[in-house]
Amino acid sequence: MCRAGGGGPHLIAADVPHPTGADGRGTGAAFVVAETVRRHGALNVAFNNTAELGPHQPVGDIDETVWAHTLTSNLTGVWLSMKHEIAHMEGVGGGVIVNTASNIGAQGMLPGLGAYAASTAAVSALTRTAAREYVSRAIRINAISPCPLGRGASVEEIADTVVWLCSDAASYIVGHDLVLDRKTSA
């Protein structure tokens, strides 16, 4: 779709969860938005996709550093990205944001992933809250939650869903966390 419209893939490397980047050179979320706008003139659609699982262990065994790293990667990174994306989108009359959460967070289906489950459940809650706050400003915010049970969605199916959520065909969907799963019959 991008190539058909005259575009193509571009890479911007950044340490998103850190406001000025770990190296202090301004490589955080603000940099990603500013560089996108510099290269393309605007930011109309954003997909915040992160998945730091952390070690597979019971909640009582999670190290504080691992807990902090997982929440920083999965939750703070999404929040900082949205913060800067929303600021730009408000200035240009709107846009669409899709975040990746996880059904693991909503359902707690896989014991041993406590930090991941907590961070992705928080992404879902953050998405719903922000969606209500910014829908009147023409910014639609939703989330997807790929589900590992049953037949998980392929990368292409996930991408198709994100593209659809960003399209006018889904203009009525706001503040939803769409679980991507298909139960297999036994």
* Known active-site residue 116: yes
- Residue 78 within a domain: yes
If you count them, how many residues does the chain have?
A: 186
Number of domains in the chain: 1
CA dist., res. 101 & res. 107, Å (int): 12
Position 66 scores a pLDDT of 93
- Residue 10 within a domain: no
Q: One of 16, 50, 116, 120 is an active-site residue; which one?
A: 116
pLDDT averaged over 10-residue windows placed end to end, the chain, 186 residues: 70 74 64 92 93 89 94 94 96 97 74 90 96 98 83 82 95 93 61
- Residue 29 within a domain: no
- Residue 67 within a domain: yes
- Residue 157 within a domain: yes
Residue 118's nearest CA partner among 52, 43, 38, 41 is: 52
* Order of strands, sheet of 139-146, starting from the edge strand that comes earlier in the sequence: 45-48, 95-100, 139-146, 177-182, 151-152
- Residue 6 within a domain: no
- Residue 149 within a domain: yes
Q: What domain range is 158 assigned to?
A: 44-182
- Residue 167 within a domain: yes
Position 50 scores a pLDDT of 83
CATH value at residue 75: 3.40.50.720
pTM confidence score: 0.89
Quickly tell me which residue has 């009525």 as its tokens.
Answer: 172
Residue 33's nearest CA partner among 14, 58, 61 is: 14
